[in-house]
Amino acid sequence: MFQFSSSPVEGHMMSDPLLISSIIQYADRYHPDTEIVSRRVEGDMHRYTYRDCHKRARKMANALAALGIRPGERIGTLAWNGYRHLELYYAISGSGSVMHTINPRLHADQITYIINHAEDQYLFFDISFLSLVESVAPQCKGVKGFVMMCGRERMPTATALPNLHCYEALLEQHDDDYAWPVLNETAASSLCYTSGTTGNPKGALYSHRSTLLHSYATVQPNAFGLSSREVVMPVVPMFHVNAWGLPYSAPMAGAKLVLPGPLVDGNSLFELIEEEGVTFSAGVPTVWLGVLDHADKAGKHFTAFKRIVIGGSACPPALMKGYRERYGVEVIHAWGMTEMSPVGAVCSLHPRHAALGTEEQQQLREKQGQAVFGIKMKVAGDLGEELPWDGKTRGNLLVKGPWVIGSYFKGEGGEALQNGWFPTGDVVTIDKDGYMQITDRSKDVIKSGGEWIGSIDLENIAMAHPAVHQAACIGVYHPKWDERPLLVVEKRPGAELDKQSLLGFYEGKVARWWLPDDVVFVDALPIGATGKVLKSEIRKQFKDFKLSAEPTRNG
Ligand code: ADP
């Protein structure tokens, strides 16, 4: 794939492989008593340490071998963020098999497709997914057995699942005398599928090396800034791009981990943040809207909570401001993709930005940020020509780096790269300082009379209106301009708002011809399996929508 210039002289340093098992070994050796706290699916709290986690992961590695699981084979998991899931992250990858996390919020047909496509040999699942697993199992003939992630007392007395094991019973049967194998660092470690909003999901197969390099990159101060002084709560699920790598980077940094289990509503998360002294968290915007709403309504304040990384979709400026101005919590905007392990860019401000006014700082924070070290970016036009970094010229974002996909699992979708670069499908500008801003996903772009209208800008303005909970902007057919923007809005419960006053709110904020041609109020916007607003679904819903307003675009 790549061509290297050769040198007659090789470096003389060891090529000790970068392996996932080394992370939990390190955490056990240097942070043995640091806690991992989990809200269990069973309803109670569970606490133990990195040392305990390492011990149980070794027992599980022995159990996997006893089940006949061999290196390279894929093991599926359907589980929330919790300690048993964490143990599997290390036991499965560390022993040389491939950890395949499955998003339980996907449609059952997609789950079946993914399990079969990955050729999962065993399926581990939380008790809350028993009926889901029972429903897909008959279509997943390649799965040799199932493991329910619970104690004996929770095992079902009757089930149609063949070869069903109990997680805790497996651990009881095996000891912790296990030496992690020295694998090739380029060996496959884990597998995540894209959420497949268009077509079937495609697999991104990570390696030990890509995972370790991604972890080194994300712990850095200008990225997530993790250390043993942080208490890290990944709200982003461990089944969504490995919770953005936090199950690896937090132990690498020796940070306390708080795993919220299935309860990710505003109230439950707020409570956990306060009870466990969480300082750092990460997740998609919708979750953080819930926490902010809860804190606002309950008139509560955060004690130790300092920073949230928000990504996955554009973070509404009103959300950032709400946390910073009312609670002193910094929202850090980040960008990534399943195909990038996932982190590609993080928006950190530098000392020179302290001199900027509040509004200018805010505008900078709204960008998705600078590439983290290791990721290269370029912006290209439709013919592949490179475009300038001037903060204005929009183009397709291409990336390169050691934790970026080279090809999809099983070669699905053909060639993934264009001249060695991965086309992200995001439409962006990059300013002279290298801050990248997403204006759209290429499939969400609205083209009116041949010119781009930034749907994210229009959504952000709507979401700054106090009566708006969430908003999505899509292009709908227009006989003269091809497409015009339609704004679909979910109001806050009990809020009063009409179309005219919302459109009036855009006054002076965007060019007149960008104004949405119409506004539709809905009870709830559709949310996809990864917690993001599903624009593809909204487009389907409004595909025959007839614009009622006079076109706003003049000229
Ligand atoms: P999918 O949503 O396709 O399943 P991902 O979860 O990997 O897959 O999403 C990747 C996409 O999410 C990016 O290509 C980009 O369009 C969008 N995205 C991620 N982070 C941000 C962000 N901070 N702002 C805007 N869009 C984002």
Tens-binned pLDDT, residue by residue, of the chain (555 aa): 567 788 889 999 999 999 999 999 999 999 999 999 999 999 999 999 999 999 999 999 999 999 999 999 999 999 999 999 999 999 999 999 999 999 999 889 999 999 999 999 999 999 999 999 999 999 999 999 999 999 999 999 999 999 999 999 999 999 999 999 999 999 999 999 997 666 788 999 999 999 999 999 999 999 999 999 999 999 999 999 999 999 999 999 999 999 999 999 999 999 999 999 999 999 999 999 999 999 999 999 999 999 999 999 899 999 999 999 999 999 999 999 999 999 999 999 999 999 999 999 999 999 999 999 999 999 999 899 999 999 999 999 999 999 999 999 999 878 889 999 999 999 999 999 999 999 988 888 898 888 888 899 899 999 999 999 999 999 999 988 889 999 999 999 999 999 999 999 999 898 889 999 999 999 999 998 888 899 989 999 998 998 865 555 433
527 alpha carbon – ligand 1 mean position (Å)? 14
Residue for token pair 């940070």: 255
Whether residue 403 lies in the annotated active site: no
Nearest-atom number in ligand 1 for the CA of 196 is: 4
Q: Which of 297, 392, 447, 509 is catalytic?
A: 447
Whether residue 513 lies in the annotated active site: no
In angstroms, what is the C-alpha Rg of the chain?
A: 24
Q: Which residue, by CA, sits nearest to atom 10 of ligand 1?
A: 337
424 alpha carbon – ligand 1 mean position (Å)? 9
Measure the CA–CA gap between 203 and 205, rounded to whole angstroms: 6
Q: For residue 384, tell me if it sits in a domain.
A: no
Long-range CB pairs of 512-516 (<8 Å, 24+ gap) are: 512/552, 512/553, 512/554, 513/448, 513/453, 513/552, 513/553, 513/554, 513/555, 514/453, 514/454, 514/457, 514/458, 514/485, 515/485, 515/552, 516/458, 516/473, 516/484, 516/485, 516/486, 516/487, 516/552
Please name which of 160, 158, 168, 132 lies closest in space to residue 56, comparing C-alpha atoms: 168
pLDDT (0 to 100) of residue 74? 98
26 alpha carbon – ligand 1 mean position (Å)? 32
Q: For residue 279, tell me if it sits in a domain.
A: no
Q: Which residue, by CA, sits nearest to atom 13 of ligand 1?
A: 337
555 alpha carbon – ligand 1 mean position (Å)? 34
Q: Which of 339, 367, 403, 535 is catalytic?
A: 339
First-to-last alpha carbon distance for the chain, in angstroms, is 49
Nearest-atom number in ligand 1 for the CA of 528 is: 2
pLDDT (0 to 100) of residue 317? 94
336 alpha carbon – ligand 1 mean position (Å)? 6
Q: For residue 373, tell me if it sits in a domain.
A: no
Q: Which of 35, 159, 271, 452 is catalytic?
A: 452
Neighbouring C-alpha atoms within 13 Å toward the C-beta of 77: 31
Nearest-atom number in ligand 1 for the CA of 310 is: 23
Ligand 1 pocket: which residues have CB below 6 Å? Answer: 194-195, 197, 311-314, 333-338, 342, 368, 424-426, 438, 441, 530, 532
Q: For residue 94, tell me if it sits in a domain.
A: yes
Q: For residue 351, tell me if it sits in a domain.
A: no
240 alpha carbon – ligand 1 mean position (Å)? 12
286 alpha carbon – ligand 1 mean position (Å)? 13
Q: Are strands 231-234 and 256-259 parallel, antiparallel or unpaired?
A: parallel
3-class secondary structure, 452: strand
Q: For residue 95, tell me if it sits in a domain.
A: yes
Q: Which residue, by CA, sits nearest to atom 1 of ligand 1?
A: 195
Please name which of 142, 151, 92, 154 lies closest in space to residue 114, comparing C-alpha atoms: 142
Domain count of the fold of the chain? 2
337 alpha carbon – ligand 1 mean position (Å)? 5
Of 186, 208, 230, the position where a domain reaches its end is: 208
- The enclosing H or E element of 483 equals strand 482-491
Whether residue 366 lies in the annotated active site: no
pLDDT (0 to 100) of residue 551? 52
Of 189, 208, 227, the position where a domain reaches its end is: 208
pLDDT (0 to 100) of residue 362? 96
To test the pocket of ligand 1, the residue of 200, 337, 534 to mutate (highest count of ligand atoms within 8 Å of its CB) is 337
Q: Which domain holds residue 96?
A: 21-34+45-208
Buried b (16+ CB within 10 A) or exposed e, 169-185: ebbeebeeebebeebeb
Nearest-atom number in ligand 1 for the CA of 532 is: 2
Q: For residue 183, tell me if it sits in a domain.
A: yes
Q: Exposed, middle or buried by CB within 10 Å (0-12, 13-18, 19+), for 51? A: middle
To test the pocket of ligand 1, the residue of 198, 320, 335 to mutate (highest count of ligand atoms within 8 Å of its CB) is 335
Whether residue 288 lies in the annotated active site: no
Q: Which of 77, 194, 218, 530 is catalytic?
A: 194
Nearest-atom number in ligand 1 for the CA of 438 is: 25
Q: For residue 515, tell me if it sits in a domain.
A: yes
335 alpha carbon – ligand 1 mean position (Å)? 7
pLDDT (0 to 100) of residue 442? 84
Peptide bond into 342 cis (omega under 30): yes
pLDDT (0 to 100) of residue 197? 61
Structure tokens at 176: 């912790």
Nearest-atom number in ligand 1 for the CA of 338 is: 7
**CATH label of the domain that carries residue 458:** 3.30.300.30
Of 208, 226, 246, the position where a domain reaches its end is: 208
Nearest-atom number in ligand 1 for the CA of 337 is: 7
Q: Which residue, by CA, sits nearest to atom 27 of ligand 1?
A: 313
Q: Which residue, by CA, sits nearest to atom 12 of ligand 1?
A: 312
